[in-house]
Structure 1
């Protein structure tokens, strides 16, 4: 201890240092208890996170199944759209060959209104 902070009498020195050491011991004890609580709570959090990850991993198979289903449905939709476009093209050819009306500008507009597509197959407007 430095001479500035030292008490003037030996009695004051022993009384001041004993209260300091008792307060210090109490604070150290409080800190160690708080650290034990923090450690326990971190362990609880770790177990909870492991449980969440386990549950999330259980949904992996379900997610894969839905992805596969989505892929199959997308393929079916594109196949149906191509099939519809092909049948429309055949109807146009039959209509033009037999001399029926409907292959002209009015028929194209009607087809575009029904399907949202023009003669070239691209979306109109």
Structure 2
């Protein structure tokens, strides 16, 4: 039988929605891969960050001077 104009338009819109949802899924997967790459690069710097944090801690530690002795 003949489909009504409404049914034709509904079918077109549903097809368009399905196509766009597929595009969204592909883009989400692409974003996920990018984020995984960013995390992997960040993890590679964790040891360097730890080393610099230790260095900073040593460099910012105040000099130990006896407080009870009067300065000359």
Q: Is this a same-fold pair by TM over 0.5?
A: yes
Does residue 1:78 correspond to 2:57, yes or no? no
Structure 2, unaligned stretches of length 5 or more? none
Identify the match of residue 68 of structure 1 among 43, 54, 61. 54
Q: Distance in 2 between matches of 1:18 and 1:71?
A: 76
RMSD: 2.2
Residues 44-84 of structure 1 deviation map (CA, whole Å, 9 limit, x = unaligned): 11111111111111111111000111122234x514xx28x
TM-score with structure 1 setting the length: 0.48
Instruction: Report SS of the residue matched to 1:78.
Output: coil
Q: Distance in 2 between matches of 1:50 and 1:31?
A: 28
Structure 1, unaligned stretches of length 5 or more? 1-13, 93-125
Using CA pairs below 8 Å that are at least 6 residues apart, which structure has the higher relative contact order? 1
Q: Distance in 1 between matches of 2:60 and 2:6?
A: 77
Aligned pairs, how many? 70
How do residues 5-84 of structure 1 correspond to structure 2 at under 5 angstroms? 17-75=3-61, 77-79=62-64, 82=65
TM-score with structure 2 setting the length: 0.77
